[in-house]
Structure 1
Amino acid sequence: MKKFFSIILVLFIWQLTFAQEAKMVIHKTNGTEEINLSDIVDISFSMPITPTTGEILLSKGPVGDNASLSIYSMNDDGNAVTLIHNDSKNSRYARWSKDKTKIVYSSDNSSTGGHEIFLMNSDGTNNVQITNDNPQYGNGNPIFRSNSKIWYFNAQSTGWTEITEINYDGSEKTKLTDFYSQGKSGDNININSTGTKFCYYKQTSSWSYDGEIYTSNSDFSEEIQLTTNSYCDGYPRLSSVNNKIVYIYDFKDVCVMNFDGTGFVKLTEFTDKNASGPIWSPDESKIIFTVWDGVQNDVWIMNADGSSQINLTNSTDQNEIVSDWQ
């Protein structure tokens, strides 16, 4: 009898370790009879589902009042929505630093009255305005370039945007690009995990409907144009794992392609909605993005292959615009 229960225990541990279905049997010592273990003990297991981890940053405000957007965080299931910063103005483009101790964003609650770049702690404390450009169409889309530098786009005059670098304390502002000399305007810059490659889009002057996506080295050398079509491609985000870029095609649908521009796949097929700002989940198994339905913005989520598209916020009185996921 002791030997019998020892066998059961060994099989139980084996099943727990490998978490797979199998027909488990025991034999009498003379080998003449086979007994299913499931006839003795009711045991069932399944492979554990690893949840997507991380937090989401978004701007949120009342429908019909686009001048009032506050910065929030939430879990990737749409719960635990937490207010981080509210200045009763238009605060957006929020991004975490790599260690999630800082948040950089753009707001018109500034000393110039225009959209300027601000830096604060991840809990909303120590909020500091770090640009004072007073550009005609604002500063926006900031990213953390390093532990001391921030990149952002500067729309100094109608139709022209350049990528600019500044220190955390607002010193040493440097214009990094000269898209103007190319008859172009640039925006939506994104960096890979090693900091060696950049992805962005450029369009002809006056913010025309013809943007294309480019990659380059960190000094903007060896620029490669990845898309060439009659539609506007924008909001590119580089992956860190699967060598892909997620972006918006024709101001409407979420698409992916390889780093070299091949392997184009359209993940959404919207006819009465417009998607923007797609972002990979930290493990790159999912994509989150903003959807405009003609009345308001909501945050949607889907698998990386485009399946299981879900309206995550699905509010009736709030605009929600996603900006980061870490």
Structure 2
Amino acid sequence: MGTPANVKYIVVGIDGTGSSSWRHADGSNSHIYQFVRDFHYGARGIDKQFFDGPSDSVWGRESEAILQKALDFIMHRLTTLFPQIKNGNIHPLDMFDVNSCMQSSQQTSFQTMDGYSYLSTSNMRLPVQVNAQMLAHQPFTPNQVQIVLAGHSRGGLVATNLARMLSPVIKVYFLALYDAVDRQPCLDGAVVENVKYVFHARRHPDVGSRGMFSNTSTQYKSDYHEERFFYTSHGGIGGSYVTSRAELSTFGDDSCIIQPDTRTISDGMGNVVTVDNINPLTKRFHKPIDQICSEGSDEADKFIREGARRFGLPIS
């Protein structure tokens, strides 16, 4: 698909939780870092910017701060690239609009207890939804500048909310989601809005990775989207996964670690029984699980990049 010769790009990538601690200095185990690096336009810190994900693994508390920094970066670049449009005339949504923890409205209902009815008032917190009015007068078009966002894990949640914040300004051209998850109490990323093209690489449930949390950004109000599952772990979708038990942290993901072929269990009557312990995926594909995870990780990144190139983006 062709792209206007004079189009400009602004590229933002937000990595997964704890990436500042697990990402190699050269970014070789981070698909988000590599996506930003390999986008052949502008310079890091000028027209493209990489952000590490939140360090708080439980609540992802830095997500809001990262979201605000990413929005500030995009708005600064827009006003620099297009100085004829004054900053005061461009109003993206702010944190109050998209952060449900910063909003409050009351809901009144009747409750019944022990035969008595009484009036109950509770606070309801919902983020602002994108509407037609926001989209009707966007000052920028993809023929002028194409906004490209990429996010892994909670970084995907941030990227989805960033696209929503830009609704009154410009439609995001391309959103690359690497197994986006929520696990953050204030940001709502269930629905992808204000995006032209979306590609979402998700971990296949048969791998058994991070079963305690599900994906977000799986409803798409976009011009076009593709979603595909890959046989690798949640970390593998983002480029980093553990294949050695010696490297496994306390709450780490062991889904890509080769287990012994057999294990012994008690039959409940004091007898020890030897049972088959080979990973079902190893039996299905006749490959060790660490190889399956490695191939799945590479395929997930390839899926995203091929989608970007299909719609004219200059990424290797």
TM-score under structure 2 length normalisation: 0.28
Structure with the largest fraction of strand = 1
Bigger radius of gyration, 1 or 2?
1
TM-score under structure 1 length normalisation: 0.27
Structure with the largest fraction of helix = 2
Higher relative contact order (CA 8 A, sep 6+): 2
